[in-house]
Structure 1
Amino acid sequence: MERLNVTAIEPKFKHPTIFKYFDALKAGESFIIENDHDPKPLYYELLAERGDIFTWEYLLQGPELYEVQIAKNPVSETSGTLPEKDIQKAEMLKAKGVQFACSSDKKEESVKAPIYDYDKWELDFLTDYIVNTHHRYLKDNAEMLNDLAIKVAEHHGDNHPELNRLSTIIYHFLQDLIDNTVREDEVLFPIIKQMVAKQRNAETEITYKVGTLEDPINILKKDHDVAAADLLYFRNLTNNYTPPADACSSYQYLFKKIQEFESDVQAHIHLEESFLFPKAIQLDKELAQLN
């Protein structure tokens, strides 16, 4: 069975190459892709572009290596092999113009991100987008940023003592962000999905007290305020991320990564405070009036 090492392919050619391999398969044939991260976005792109004509089987699921066997179904089995909810999600993603590139691929390509009309998105879809975009970014990059800050402080802290302070605050900054995403993933977002389901079907049971959503959201907004204050502190401490003359490549890369985190956190906060939170509170109030 043929294997394709996706990590050796230039990012913009990764998905087209995989599609070329898939289209060349005869019914019943398969190939294996090897990647350094979960290629789940590819799964949805295949489903959106080719339909339910393949099987997708994880042979190895990380953390450092992922292997997936992709097979083209025989003609007699051209549908019904993949979950209907995945088919619907793939169609929704395609309809909304969401790009299917993996997060690590996006970081390698200097492509301007598309602008979406988030105000038109359903709340449950918006929560999924936040999880798969901003929460995933944090999970993929937090440990690396923390380790990098420690490394740079160890090597340059004597000449630039502000790096020791920066390293300490970055650790707490990342822990606060992780705690925030856990509260969203495990508490708020499931509640929002329950509300949306209730709105669509009045018979749906919900497990939280209707009319009480504003208080936990205010707690999450305080988390955002803390993160914004930390980012402002980073800018002041680093002279707006201006590396000194003796900065090594790791030193410069640290500043670049903190700026990248700043952009992601700002986008994350904007989505939640401008769209998700106010709409969720309004829906919560509407449901409370029905009780």
Structure 2
Amino acid sequence: MSSDQRVAFVGLGGMGGGMAHRLREAGVRLVVQNRTAAKTIPLVDAGAIAAGTPAGAAADADVVFVSVADEEALDEVIFGPHGVAAGLRPGGYLVDTSTASPTYSIAAAERLAERGIRFVEARILGNPLHARSGELRIFAAGRDQDVEAVRPLLEIIGQEIRNLGPIGAASTFKLAFNVLLGAQLAAISEAVGLAERAGLSREVMLQTIGTSGLASPVLAFRCALALKGRFDPPAFRTRLMHKDLRLALSDARSPMPVIARAAEYFDAALERGLGELDAAIVLARAEPAVQAGAAR
């Protein structure tokens, strides 16, 4: 990729902001845009240029990265009246790092192709710290030549880049990972509830699970959050976990009863107004979905 490549980044939340900073630190010529304009200030201080709309950010770009929370926001940012598609020239690349369903991604790629815009899914595994340090794992999908064209940029923000195949593959892969986490958190909540009802200590259970052979680094991290009662700032918001579980269930080609049951935990958390807290909130009390269900 040439050193004069022009790049835009739209969506500067925890993940998007980290990736944008990483690109700028690598010397990438960067235009940034965010719905809340204040989030552009640190990047402007680092040498980026701020734009007022996604279309404005894309107007002079060769590649546009997008990182937003859900499909509604994604649709507005890409296809809205001031969206990326209104500004990006034919032949440009749109790299979507958000989490969306394969159905949405395939449809978006087709709509962009009608405008001559090349679409790459770049689904990411990691947290905001990984985004900032360039240690993300990136699972891409799209035409081979398109993925290869943006690979040098992906290598700045990620330590591992894999091309999974056609559009939709990376979205399915990411949802599969996220539903696994959701199911594990729900299972831990039930296990801890079982012990607590028998008079055992919730704290001892969480501490032991988090330091046992059953715990991955991600689960150990969330058991520790629950022990400390520290769910804000979130590493992965409850409403995003809820969204991903429901996307997976709606796109599934066969029943997923375990995931359907796990989704009830996050349904209940949203009903209690906990959507902006870390998904570990389901470990904060025994069987929240059962309690919420009993009240309905």
Same fold (TM over 0.5): no
| Greater helix fraction, Structure 1 or Structure 2 | 1
| Greater strand fraction, Structure 1 or Structure 2 | 2
CA radius of gyration, larger in: 1
User: What TM-score, normalized to structure 1?
Assistant: 0.29
User: What TM-score, normalized to structure 2?
Assistant: 0.28
